[in-house]
Structure 1
Amino acid sequence: MDLPALDLAQPTPAPQGVNTQGLADFLRRFFAPLFLVIVSVVALFFLFTREITRFVQFIILAIAIGVIFYVPNIIEVTAKAIAVALGISVG
């Protein structure tokens, strides 16, 4: 006699981890336009108030942040480097 309750007692396979295959692409597509709008508004504010030093500092910071979002694989490489530094095995 086969009972359906016995099927529930079978162990389920453990999850292998979080699937982050498209996470970096999603973040780029989501935040890149928002980032460009914010950079434009703040840069215009600095230009209209004639704060050239802050404008230059802001543009340098914006370029550095832009490199993080637009250079391919930099997020993955940085994440793997941090994981290795923390002693987490990377597959």
Structure 2
Amino acid sequence: MSNADTSNDDTDPEKVQINLRLTRAFLEDIDATWKEQGFNSRSEFLRHAARDAVKHPEFSREGWKQIAASEHDLRSGEAELVSRDEVIAMMDEDDE
């Protein structure tokens, strides 16, 4: 495990250790994310992410790509945030 993993799961017979290869840049993103989101360890964060992926398959890879692309567009200034009221107004226009 990593030095960032503070949990001690060695005594839990239900848990199995796996190895995972990632780019250094992606691992740095993961480490920043688990710390920002208040997880106790990298392993806890990755278990949570894997559990979400299994329990919520409706969040497809394509859907995540679209979310990432939208985030990129917002951060680069190519898109604008829309308020809740603006969304409701647009939906009302579509109903007419």
TM-score by length of structure 2 reads: 0.25
Task: Report the structure, 1 or 2, having the larger helix content.
Answer: 1
TM-score by length of structure 1 reads: 0.26
